[in-house]
């Protein structure tokens, strides 16, 4: 499904970004000490060398607040009027994460709610924020994707433990015009509940995943959604300067780039350092690569994600010129 373009040339425009990672890292070598696996297997099958893992003293809510605070640190053109948190690993079922985050940020009173769409949650969050802006509910919306996925696998499962890490990433969207840099083009979203059993977790420590089937669906769905998003934006895929795919597995993102005909040098990745961080994956990737200069103002950028549900999505934008103060220091690492 593709959301209709907004009226009167209005658009939701990315104007700030932030990220947060737990300070503790777990390397492949750390995993080989307790699992029947090797560094070589993990790197060659997934592209991952380490992941950041939150201790008991760092909740999902804490990660959300840190990423959000970093995005807001550059000073906003307008006060934030709504807050959306995308996560499938909230600290509790009820209440939602977002109102507590809003209050911790000094934003008590604004609309604040969570959405759960697996690793596609951040793109669902962008579409929701664009809708809030189009509806006139808010002129500036803070969207945070955050997950603590490292806690989901059975600690003895070598097939899933190496894949996941923890983190958060945030963007601020403001009401602007469709022809300026940072303006979101139509957001493509989809779901297929018949694939619900392919990735499911009834509680932390009880993740079930059919890896090979998920791999195949991830490649197909992200490739298709990317084509649809490019078409909706009026772009030819050859014009894409940067592909920013959900970091599930570097082999998956490599296949997606190949299917789209996007040269590998235009595919952004940070999975080696962070693993699969769920709804945090795309904003973390954008924050980190923008800070490093791999993603530059003016780049025609295609975001795409796939996750549990099954869910998927894609959207394009021209990467905006965010002031250096608005980019996270230390490539997204927690300060």
- Interacting residue ranges for ligand COA, rule: CB under 6 A: 37, 41-42, 45-46, 119, 158-159, 162, 199, 209, 211-212, 214-215, 218, 248-249, 252, 276, 306-307
**Token pair in block for residue 131:** 């809708």
Closer to ligand COA by CB, 99 or 278: give it: 278
246 counts as catalytic? yes
Distances, alpha carbon 230 to alpha carbons 236, 239, 245, 294, in Å: 7, 9, 14, 21
Closer to ligand COA by CB, 255 or 319: give it: 255
CB of 183 to ligand COA, least distance (A): 27
119 counts as catalytic? yes
In the bound state, the residue with its beta carbon closest to ligand COA is 211
3-state secondary structure string across the chain: CECCCCHHHEEEEEEEEEEECCCCEEEHHHHHCCCCCCHHHHHHHHCCCEEECCCCCCCHHHHHHHHHHHHHCCCCCCCCCEEEEECCCCCCCCCCHHHHHHHHCCCCCCCEEEECCHHHHHHHHHHHHHHHHHCCCCCEEEEEEEEEHHHCCCCCCCCCHHHECEEEEEEEEEEEECCCCCECCCCEEEECHHHHHHEEECCCCCEEECHHHHHHHHHHHHHHHHHHHHHHHCCCHHHCCEEEECCCCHHHHHHHHHHHCCCHHHECCCHHHHCECHHHHHHHHHHHHHHHCCCCCCCEEEEEEEECCCEEEEEEEECCCCCHHHCCHHHHCCC
- Given the residues 15, 28, 52, 119, select the one marked as catalytic: 119
- Given the residues 15, 52, 217, 246, select the one marked as catalytic: 246
CB of 92 to ligand COA, least distance (A): 23
CB of 37 to ligand COA, least distance (A): 3
Closer to ligand COA by CB, 249 or 289: give it: 249
CB of 32 to ligand COA, least distance (A): 9
CB of 104 to ligand COA, least distance (A): 28
- Given the residues 28, 249, 270, 276, select the one marked as catalytic: 276
Closer to ligand COA by CB, 37 or 49: give it: 37
Closer to ligand COA by CB, 2 or 277: give it: 277
276 counts as catalytic? yes
CB of 274 to ligand COA, least distance (A): 14
Closer to ligand COA by CB, 190 or 307: give it: 307
What residues act catalytically?
A: 119, 246, 276
């Amino acid at each position: 499904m593709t959301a209709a373009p907004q009226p009167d040339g209005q658009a939701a425009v990315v104007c700030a970004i932030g990220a947060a990672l737990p300070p503790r890292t777990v390397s492949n070598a750390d995993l080989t000490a307790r699992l029947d696996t090797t560094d070589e297997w993990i790197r060659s099958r997934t592209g991952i060398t380490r992941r950041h893992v939150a201790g008991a003293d760092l909740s999902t809510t804490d990660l959300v607040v840190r990423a959000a605070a970093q995005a807001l640190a550059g000073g906003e053109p307008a006060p934030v009027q709504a807050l959306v948190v995308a996560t499938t690993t909230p600290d509790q079922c009820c209440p939602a994460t977002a109102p507590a985050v809003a209050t911790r940020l000094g934003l008590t009173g604004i609309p604040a709610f969570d959405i759960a769409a697996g690793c596609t949650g951040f793109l669902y969050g962008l579409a929701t924020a664009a809708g809030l802006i189009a509806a006139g509910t808010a002129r500036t919306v803070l969207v945070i994707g955050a997950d603590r996925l490292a806690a989901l696998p059975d600690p003895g499962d070598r097939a899933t433990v190496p894949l996941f890490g923890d983190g958060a990433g945030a963007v601020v969207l403001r009401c602007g015009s469709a022809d300026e840099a940072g303006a979101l083009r139509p957001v493509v979203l989809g779901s297929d509940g018949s694939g619900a059993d392919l990735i499911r977790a009834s509680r932390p420590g009880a993740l079930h995943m059919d890896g090979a089937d998920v791999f195949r669906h991830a490649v197909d769905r992200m490739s298709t959604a990317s084509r649809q998003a490019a078409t909706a934006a009026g772009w030819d895929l050859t014009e894409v300067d940067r592909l920013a795919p959900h970091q599930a597995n570097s082999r998956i993102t490599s296949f997606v780039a190949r299917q789209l005909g996007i040269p590998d040098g235009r595919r952004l990745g940070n999975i080696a350092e962070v693993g699969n961080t769920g709804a945090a994956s795309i904003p973390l990737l954008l924050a980190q690569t923008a800070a490093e200069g791999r993603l530059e103002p003016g780049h025609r950028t295609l975001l795409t994600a796939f996750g549990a549900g099954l869910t998927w999505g894609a959207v394009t934008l021209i990467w905006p010129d965010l002031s250096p103060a608005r980019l996270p220091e230390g490539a997204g690492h927690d300060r």
